[in-house]
A and B are shown apart, each in its own frame.
Chain A
């Protein structure tokens, strides 16, 4: 699926890239795919973001961080939260996926594989520590709403899996 970013002015893009997800600091909000548009209207920066999960407390922090990042560069920013179209894990960029894996979070699989993984039918989630597929679901909900909790039966390390949201 395309990311459905409407238009983001280049100078804004560079500033937005410096803002990261507070829960997953290695991931910028651009890689996360939560920024929908960015433009300057009458000297004020207008940014539209879309929540990953409705209740995700990170969204308020992200909105504040965006404002702070623009203020630092001398802009005033206004943030609008838009719900439709709803965010999907398909909008996480490939660079973002690599960053997740490096950070120790297994990145989301396709919807089909994800279902198999969360029902515990097939071993399709790869351990981000040792690369083994010999992994097991511990809990459908992990440390945050967007993740499930797994363990690797080879290296015995627990890890988070970023659930597929479509």
Chain B
């Protein structure tokens, strides 16, 4: 029971940690000062949410676990985030498309998760939902602006959406921990979010004069800890300080 709960929380929280780290890479490198600040503010919200989840996991696990050991000292296979969030930034079209696809999913998930029978998870979801609605508004606006912008911006955002589309299906896969937690009234049945997700995404793509990619093969594995080649590099950055100087503090 406890192990399933911990794994279930990793399945949710690791998405925010890894995406937060990815967007954090844009700090000082955003295409404009405003987008730079916006993306890093989103990263900060996600990391704040992650801290709440990991503090809860630390309490559940006991021993010497802290939010920091959970964030910094796990091995690659122990992270249960979806492949989508670990995909590299490349240009802004990729960063904002990844954000958009994740935001739409994240908001749908949190809307259900706030009804969790676990009080802590429900409280974190209620808090996060306010922040994530704002993220969704921001990323959707950019999809519209770039899609319905110039020929160049249209083509580049379309290319990014096409590329990332293969990572969307995994959002709706269930792990063993998922199934157990849904049965216990703690977790959300993600398979039920799939239709709403594609409906919402397609509506915004249509408004943005973009095409919904037609694809029949999807990538998966992140939820089982089997990550893409980008994950190792990301973790090397994320974990460098704690691995080099164990237990260091700011």
Contacts and interface: CB of A to CB of B under 8 A. Distances in A.
Contact of A55 (B44, B119, B130, B141): B44
Interface string A132-144: 0000001111111
A149 B137 CA distance: 16
B143 interface: no
B51 interface: yes
B131 to A, nearest CB: 6
B34 A138 contact: yes
A83 B126 contact: yes
B127 A84 contact: yes
Contacts, number: 69
Dominant secondary structure of chain B at its interface with chain A: helix
Contacts of B48: 51, 53-56
A40 interface: no
B41 interface: yes
6 contacts: A55-B44, A83-B126, A118-B137, A140-B137, A141-B42, A149-B34
Interface of A: 51, 53-57, 82-86, 118, 138-145, 149, 163, 165-166
B34 A145 contact: no
Question: What interface size band does chain B fall in?
Answer: 20 to 34
Interface of B: 34, 37-38, 41-49, 51-52, 119-120, 122-124, 126-128, 130-131, 134, 137-138, 141
A27 B134 CA distance: 25
Given A139-B37, A140-B141, A166-B130, 17 more contacts: A54-B45, A54-B49, A55-B46, A55-B48, A56-B44, A56-B48, A82-B123, A83-B127, A84-B122, A84-B126, A84-B127, A86-B123, A86-B130, A118-B137, A141-B41, A143-B37, A145-B41
